[in-house]
Structure 1
Amino acid sequence: MAFKKDTPVIVAAIDFGTAYSGIAFQFKHEFEKDPTKISAPQTWNGGKQNLISYKTPTCLLLDNNEESSSFGYEAEDKYADLSMDEKHTDWYFFRRFKMRLHEREGLTKSSKLEDASGKKMKAIVVFSKSIECLMKVLMEMLDRQGVPVKPTEIHWVLTVPAIWDDPSKQFMREAAVMAGIKSDQLDIALEPEAAALYCQYLPLDRFVDKEDEVRFGALPPGSTYMVVDLGGGTADMTVHQKTKGNQLKEVAKASGGPWGGTAVENEFLGTLEDIIGKDAMEVFRKQYIYDYFDLLREFETVKRKISMKTEDKLTIKKPVALDNVCEGNSFKEMLEKSKYSPDIVVHLDKLRLSPDFVRKLFKHVTDKIVKHMEVILSSCENVTVILLVGGMSESVFVQDIIRSRFHGKNGVKVITPEEAGLSVLKGAVIFGRSPDVIETRILRYTYGISVTPEFDPEEHPEEKKIEIAGNFHCRDVFSAFIRVNTPVEIGHSVTECVSTLTPFQPAILLQVFSSSDTEPKFTTDPGCLKIGELAVFIPNPSAEQRPVIVVFKFGYTELQVLAFEARTMIPFVTSLKMNE
């Protein structure tokens, strides 16, 4: 396995999740002795429920000057305290905002996010402040350990779902740079790849299903396995094949959907909304914030306890506020009138949930996960192992469901590491020292640029006709240079030749697009998305036409672009600017 020659003193990773986020780090000497010896803070504490966790909720609290106040459980508790004193409206509170980047349209530099009370702030500020808070926690940990570290001695890794598009990855990079990380000291790691990399090093006794005798790292070259990364927001799946030298080749492009742990939580909240009504639920969420957070933490313990074998009812504390918002009726009275009364019972200050009811909440999500896994496996031959990682895969019920459907079928074994929820985070640390572990990836999109060829009335629609320098051209034509589902090795290059059009032109601007279609015709077609604007700066502009070679490099976790003067091959400065 190839590693960086100039490996940094410390590699630090930030797993910025939809529901939970975490940080981890490792010194160079620790990696050389034991790659799995990776440090992560154990101080995140989940309030009254005492949910000791290696991760903390993805929640950010900012004051009225948009300055960082707190992150995670601390942010939740402080915002709840402020709400009881009716001071919370002067603060900004953002919770679980990462899913906005899952949308194909994504976020731009000017996009705004709405906080819990409806106030808006630039999304990139919210993301960068969150990253800044996590960086601060790491630096404080190192300081407590008496480790003097210079910023130049830390290489950072930021995790993103493999199913994200290029603008979303670029957005996260720009947010990290705003937070104080230098771009050349930052890698973007794809979550399922990072998890698989970590599991390569784990011995058999650090997997949940030890009796299956599958040591993931000992799979021979040619073995094909599926990574199912079940996080808070998304289910992220891909298929890899091991090659010689323990490199990995992607044989099925990353795919998935919004089927993470928060989807189960949303099913539960939807049940409460059915019982008390949408308006009452909104009042509960906005005016009884402390009770709302407590309820979510209580339900988190239920999610961790349920299994296929659970027979006893599960108990959580009933917030008093549920009675306050029911307008003349008690929550118990409204529950008893609903279709949920056999499954949810009020006993004093407790809610008793039947195990079948909780399993149904999960199955709304797990059915989609299983169906998607079946589609992938039907198109991939010789898959022998399914590796379950991510926080939601720590659920015994989720493990039970997936094992019952796939384990032992056609020789497939389902395995789960003991630290499934930390496998992405810890794998990202290892990725920081070996970013070239994936030697081949499958393109998720067709890539191209917007061009304006001469107008052809037989091929081009009249509404796209424009006049340039006395000649008619067609605007918005998608000129594809590489297509979806193409396998590309790291550094795979595609060359485009462009030229200045006017005398003394200082730069060439190219609009770069991606499309989910194989043969997109126009950049305005459905499924097309502008990645950004590529600027190639022309040194010493002259009156003559300047031909330029633009090289797009694929196979990395991010698209890379270079440009050269065609005659001399002197490199030009380029900048791929994200959408405003």
Structure 2
Amino acid sequence: MAPRIVVAVDFGTTRSAWAYKVGGDEPDDKTDEKIFVRIPGDVGPAPSARTKTETAALINRRGRGELVAFGQAALERHAENTATAEGDPSDEALFKWYKTTLFKPKPGESTVERVTATSTSGDVVPLLGVMTVTLRYFKKDALGFLSSLTGRTIRARDVNWVLTVPAVYDDFAKHFMRQAAHEAGMIDKVGSTNLRLCLEPEAACLAVIPRGANNPLTCDAEGKKMMIVDCGGGTVDITTHNVVTINPLNVVEVAAPTGGAWGSTQVDEAFKKWLQRFLGGWYEKIAKTEILLSIMEFWERKKAAFDGHESAEPVRLNLSALGQRQLMDRHDLEDLRTRYNRGESRRNCVDGKGFMVILPTTLVTSFFTPTLDSIARCLRGIKGGSGLRNLHRVFVVGGFSRCPLLMQVVRAELQHASCRVVEVSEPDIAIVRGAVKYFDESAVFNSRRARLTYGASVLHAFDEKNAEHRRRRDAGETLKYDDRDEVMVDGCFFPHIRIGENVPTNGVTSRENYTPVSLENETNCIQVYASSARDPAFVDEDSCFKLGTVSFPLDMTKKTRQERAYRVEFTFGGPELTVKILHRTEEKQIADAVMTLSRVPKSYDGISGGL
């Protein structure tokens, strides 16, 4: 029998990698040693100095939109084509940071097909196509490498795939990623169990929480809470779990995942805006060249090491490439420094001679401030929650966590005598390594918190004492059936599970009995709704939105409404909600439907996560 293969793809906002494990069905103490991380496109395992590649896709505009290059190779080819006559840049479009599109929907993007991505040159194309060619590239790279490694042909169906997703993705975004994986040929159907979606902080949890009974970090962790703060390029995701047992690890989610679009790319954008303001018209001359690429690579290194101390070395930006390309001379740059400093406070004035521009610490700190302030506010809000008592350890992961300034913020907000903030070794690959484990160890997370309230639209008997009932009666929104004495109010929200409640990860969450409102109806339907409120009264409230409808026949051989009663069962699994209708006494299934969950409306930007 061929050894079992697990491949995890960490498709990040700014940087990506994949990891694999061959053989071994059961997790053991040696699991970490069996997991190997790879940079897509490289020949060997990922070197420690470069554990990921850029998430950048260069796509041919003509034909069927094939992927021309990915990662660093895509950036370099795009820069070369733009700067020389060797390639026609009009034939190729570069896409960066396109994963953030799923976190920040545009108006009208309510279906998979309508979500778009925008290239660096302004091309607007379906995001599904860009995601699909990217995941197809990962699939091809993984299958090719594994075939060489094992000496046999490895097909997609031979692999157990794991795809990481941010905890702040809504259900629609998760379904989108599964659809893209299907289009890429990773799985033969969208609902295939050969693919598991793994929340990035949960992957990190599996990678960084020590299991040993004698480990000083976790030896007394049982009954206490562990937090994962995942600081990536696009988002900061935060999850908190109560540790039931440490060996084997078993945890319960104590608060819904939270976070926001406060990744390192926000700091990059602030630096880029400053550069644009400093260079003025010259910025456009380098915007699509290897010069800007080189400047941003330099900034990436400085950003990761910057600690914000007044005594720290200022950032020295070398712009000699502009002189080498004869775009400007030393006098032009001196004029830029003089002009810029006229409008700045002394603390933010730049210095330098020739092509060197020296940025003071206060100016560089200002690039970080808005993003770090947002993270601090979020952590402060979490810390104030009653569910966060007994917070024992905070593990900080993700590439952005290498930044000393960020770690200062996390420690200032969360570290105290009984809670330690832990810096993780190799934080940028913790997620992809943990994601490999997730395929076998997802049962570690035995329950999660519902992100929304889920329920159905029902009729209630009219209540004269209820002001809203009276208003709806006066507006003609009540119903009267010939075979019933009472007047009914339509559109009432009947909750199956409320926001914040524990949802078991092993299936059925809620069963409720329903009775037909009238003997006149031969068929019935359940309209399923979700709400960001805990106890909505009506489905047309601002907090509510519709997920779908399940229609089914009623048994007309039964004579009473009670005999025609049915049971509605809600089952949460992965990124979908399954609603089943069963006969109440015979337990025979009448109908079911999988809610291909619609995009959470834009007004619910504060809602994080799935379920």
| CA offset digits 1:87-142 (Å, max 9, x no partner) | 22332322102222223777621222222222221122222222222222222321
The letter of the residue matching 1:12 is V
Decide whether aligned partners of structure 1 residues 114 and 477 sit closer, same or farther in structure 2, where only a CA change above 3 A counts: farther
The letter of the residue matching 1:15 is D
The letter of the residue matching 1:551 is E
Aligned equivalents of 1:576, 1:436: Cα separation in 2:
24
Asked if 2 retains the 8 angstrom alpha-carbon contact of 1:171 and 1:578, the reply is: no
Decide whether aligned partners of structure 1 residues 114 and 406 sit closer, same or farther in structure 2, where only a CA change above 3 A counts: closer
- Bigger mean CA deviation after superposition, 88-97 or 492-501: 492-501
Once the two structures are superposed, the pairs formed by residues 50-449 of structure 1 within 5 Å of their partners are 53-63=50-60, 64=62, 65-84=64-83, 85=85, 87-103=88-104, 108-109=111-112, 110-148=114-152, 149-182=154-187, 183-201=192-210, 215-244=216-245, 245-276=248-279, 283=284, 288-308=288-308, 311-318=312-319, 320=322, 330=333, 331-339=336-344, 342-379=348-385, 380-407=388-415, 409-449=416-456
2:5 maps to 10
- Bigger mean CA deviation after superposition, 234-243 or 114-123: 114-123
Decide whether aligned partners of structure 1 residues 51 and 384 sit closer, same or farther in structure 2, where only a CA change above 3 A counts: closer
The letter of the residue matching 2:392 is T
- Deviation, 1:253, is 1.6
TM-score, structure 1 normalization: 0.82
| CA offset digits 1:138-176 (Å, max 9, x no partner) | 223213424433433311111112222212211211121
Aligned equivalents of 2:4, 2:253: Cα separation in 1:
30
What secondary structure does 2:442 align onto?
coil
Aligned equivalents of 2:116, 2:480: Cα separation in 1:
36
| 1:493 equivalent among 500, 509, 522 | 509
Decide whether aligned partners of structure 1 residues 126 and 66 sit closer, same or farther in structure 2, where only a CA change above 3 A counts: same
Asked if 2 retains the 8 angstrom alpha-carbon contact of 1:476 and 1:522, the reply is: yes
Decide whether aligned partners of structure 1 residues 32 and 284 sit closer, same or farther in structure 2, where only a CA change above 3 A counts: farther
What 5-or-longer segments of structure 2 have no aligned partner? 463-467, 559-563, 600-611
- Deviation, 1:303, is 1.1
The letter of the residue matching 1:90 is D
Is 2:489 the counterpart of 1:484? no
What secondary structure does 2:32 align onto?
coil
| CA offset digits 1:29-54 (Å, max 9, x no partner) | 39546121211115778xxxx99522
Aligned equivalents of 1:296, 1:313: Cα separation in 2:
17
Aligned equivalents of 1:177, 1:121: Cα separation in 2:
19
Asked if 1 retains the 8 angstrom alpha-carbon contact of 2:162 and 2:196, the reply is: yes
Aligned equivalents of 2:530, 2:292: Cα separation in 1:
41
2:530 maps to 514
What 5-or-longer segments of structure 1 have no aligned partner? 1-5, 205-212
| 2:472 equivalent among 448, 460, 471 | 460
Decide whether aligned partners of structure 1 residues 400 and 88 sit closer, same or farther in structure 2, where only a CA change above 3 A counts: same
Decide whether aligned partners of structure 1 residues 344 and 516 sit closer, same or farther in structure 2, where only a CA change above 3 A counts: farther
Decide whether aligned partners of structure 1 residues 115 and 222 sit closer, same or farther in structure 2, where only a CA change above 3 A counts: same
What secondary structure does 1:134 align onto?
helix
Overall identity of the aligned pairs, in %: 23
Aligned equivalents of 1:323, 1:512: Cα separation in 2:
64
**What is the RMSD computed on CA atoms of the aligned residues?**
4.0
Larger Rg: 2
Asked if 1 retains the 8 angstrom alpha-carbon contact of 2:306 and 2:403, the reply is: yes
2:18 maps to 23
Asked if 1 retains the 8 angstrom alpha-carbon contact of 2:379 and 2:414, the reply is: no
1:563 maps to 580
- Deviation, 1:429, is 0.8
Aligned equivalents of 1:116, 1:464: Cα separation in 2:
53
Asked if 1 retains the 8 angstrom alpha-carbon contact of 2:398 and 2:430, the reply is: yes
The letter of the residue matching 1:242 is V
The letter of the residue matching 1:434 is E
Asked if 1 retains the 8 angstrom alpha-carbon contact of 2:578 and 2:593, the reply is: yes
1:553 maps to 571
What secondary structure does 2:193 align onto?
helix
- Deviation, 1:396, is 2.7
| 1:574 equivalent among 586, 593, 601 | 593
- Bigger mean CA deviation after superposition, 295-304 or 266-275: 266-275
Aligned equivalents of 1:461, 1:263: Cα separation in 2:
51
Aligned equivalents of 1:578, 1:112: Cα separation in 2:
18
- Bigger mean CA deviation after superposition, 463-472 or 143-152: 463-472
Aligned equivalents of 2:208, 2:225: Cα separation in 1:
15
What secondary structure does 1:155 align onto?
strand
- Deviation, 1:512, is 3.8
Asked if 2 retains the 8 angstrom alpha-carbon contact of 1:44 and 1:55, the reply is: no
- Deviation, 1:431, is 0.8
Aligned equivalents of 2:220, 2:183: Cα separation in 1:
41
Q: How many residue pairs end up in the alignment?
A: 552
What secondary structure does 1:175 align onto?
helix
- Bigger mean CA deviation after superposition, 362-371 or 346-355: 346-355
| CA offset digits 1:357-409 (Å, max 9, x no partner) | 323322332232223212212222111211111111122332234335543x2
| CA offset digits 1:207-244 (Å, max 9, x no partner) | xxxxxx97445343212122211111111112211103
Aligned equivalents of 2:48, 2:103: Cα separation in 1:
28
